[in-house]
Amino acid sequence: MKVKKNDTVYVLTGKDAGKTGKVLTAFPKENRITVDGINIQKKHQKARSAKETSGIVDQVGPIDASNVLVVCPECGKGTRVHHSIVDGKKVRVCAKCGASLDAKQEAKSTKASKAAKPAKKAAKK
């Protein structure tokens, strides 16, 4: 599945077509995702104790991952996801502008590696 948690996606089909939102959860085995503010469903909730109140609650339902496009942070357009290998790692890339879609993860890994390098140098002395 080419959509991950915290990606911004553009919905292609369904009652919420044309909307964008952030992926809350991903279910790769089922090829489904939940998107914030998309596919809102009503759930009738019963009171479990005397202190609680029953009522109708809105909840986010899952949609199929094939019904969305990942929005590129660089060009801001919905795009198909391609993979390329950078520094021996498989990276998701925007099909339109070629920018990396995993920029946040790369930034975290470079910060962690930079922080680890001075510690190694200090240990050698």
When divided into structural domains, the chain yields a total of 1
Instruction: pLDDT band for 32, please (50, 70, 90 cuts).
Output: very high
Query: CB within 8 A of 38, min separation 6: which ones?
Result: 11, 16, 19, 21, 60, 63
Contact between 109 and 118 (Cβ < 8 Å): no
Pick from 54, 80, 53: nearest CA to 68? 80
pLDDT value of residue 103? 65
Q: Please check whether residue 19 lies inside any domain of the structure.
A: yes
Considering the entire predicted model, what is its pTM? 0.74
Domain that holds residue 90: 8-43+56-124
Beta bridge partners of 60: 40
pLDDT at 101 over 90: no
The span from the CA of 53 to the CA of 122, in Å, is 60
Q: Please check whether residue 51 lies inside any domain of the structure.
A: no
Sign of CA dihedral 88, 92, 95, 96: negative
Q: Please check whether residue 3 lies inside any domain of the structure.
A: no
Q: Please check whether residue 96 lies inside any domain of the structure.
A: yes
Specify the DSSP element, H or E, that contains 9: strand 8-11
CATH number at residue 70: 2.30.30
Q: Please check whether residue 82 lies inside any domain of the structure.
A: yes
pLDDT in tens, 16-26: 999 999 999 99
pLDDT in tens, 41-51: 999 999 999 99
